[in-house]
Amino acid sequence: MTTRPGFTVFLTGLSGAGKSTIADILIEQLEAAGRPVSTLDGDIVREMLSSELTFTRADRDLNIRRIGWVAGEITKHGGAVVVAAIAPYDGAREEARALVDRHGAFVLVYVATPLAVTEKRDVKGLYARARSGEITQFTGVSDVYEVPSAPDLVVDGSTGSPAEAAQQILDHLTERRLLPDRS
């Protein structure tokens, strides 16, 4: 019995960069093409896997390691995974890559929306609360975001639309033969 190639798309970027919106469109398109997807969105993961973790560097790293391990196990069975997480540290992202790489493809997508844009949007009002000091260890304000040193793809969350970004990712997956070519 043939098995489809497993892969994990890992979207990283600032809060409000557009990761979840892009992920939602990407997941919808993959599922419409008959491909089930496991969604490891920051909020779901914090609820299901990491409920007692804080936002210290050690706990953030542990959170990303858990995501990487679970994504790897799903990828192993030919599954498709879409991760959307701030994941501010390069080391943890590369650790996640190593946990998936053993089992299938890992696609690191940097959602490169500048801080000026994400803070201006401030959809959830989190930046205002971070600036006032109500929220501490907030990535981009009171905590670092390390720009990915080796992303597989960079999409722009400020100029292009989320649908365009999702399409770029689908094209990339097709180029890497992780999805069947429909052209």
CA-closest candidate to residue 38, choices 62, 76, 8, 5:
8
**Residue that the structure tokens 């260890």 belong to:** 137
Stretch that binds a second copy, among 17-25, 43-51, 86-94, 167-175 (CB under 8 A): 43-51
Output 19 or 66, the one with its CB closest to a second copy: 66
Interface size with a second copy, residues (CB under 8 A) = 23
Q: Binding to a second copy (CB under 8 A): which residues in 130-149? A: none
Q: Binding to a second copy (CB under 8 A): which residues in 49-78? A: 49, 51-53, 62, 65-66, 69-70, 73-74, 76-78
Least Cβ distance, residue 69 to a second copy (angstroms): 5
Least Cβ distance, residue 54 to a second copy (angstroms): 10
Output 22 or 99, the one with its CB closest to a second copy: 99
DSSP 60-109: HHHHHHHHHHHHHHHHHTT-EEEEE-----HHHHHHHHHHHHTTSEEEEE
Residues 6+ apart with CB under 8 A from 148: 12, 90, 93, 108, 110
CA-closest candidate to residue 111, choices 1, 5, 16, 3:
16
Q: Nearest 5°: phi and psi at 12?
A: -120, 150
Least Cβ distance, residue 99 to a second copy (angstroms): 9
Question: Which pair of structure tokens corresponds to residue 42?
Answer: 């920051």
> What number of other Cβ atoms are within 10 A of residue 174's Cβ?
14
- The strand pair at 37-41 and 153-155 is best described as unpaired
- Is 48 among the residues that bind a second copy (CB under 8 A)? yes
Least Cβ distance, residue 52 to a second copy (angstroms): 6
Q: Binding to a second copy (CB under 8 A): which residues in 3-22? A: 4, 6
Least Cβ distance, residue 146 to a second copy (angstroms): 24
Q: Which residues bind a second copy (CB under 8 A)?
A: 1-2, 4, 6, 36, 38, 48-49, 51-53, 62, 65-66, 69-70, 73-74, 76-80
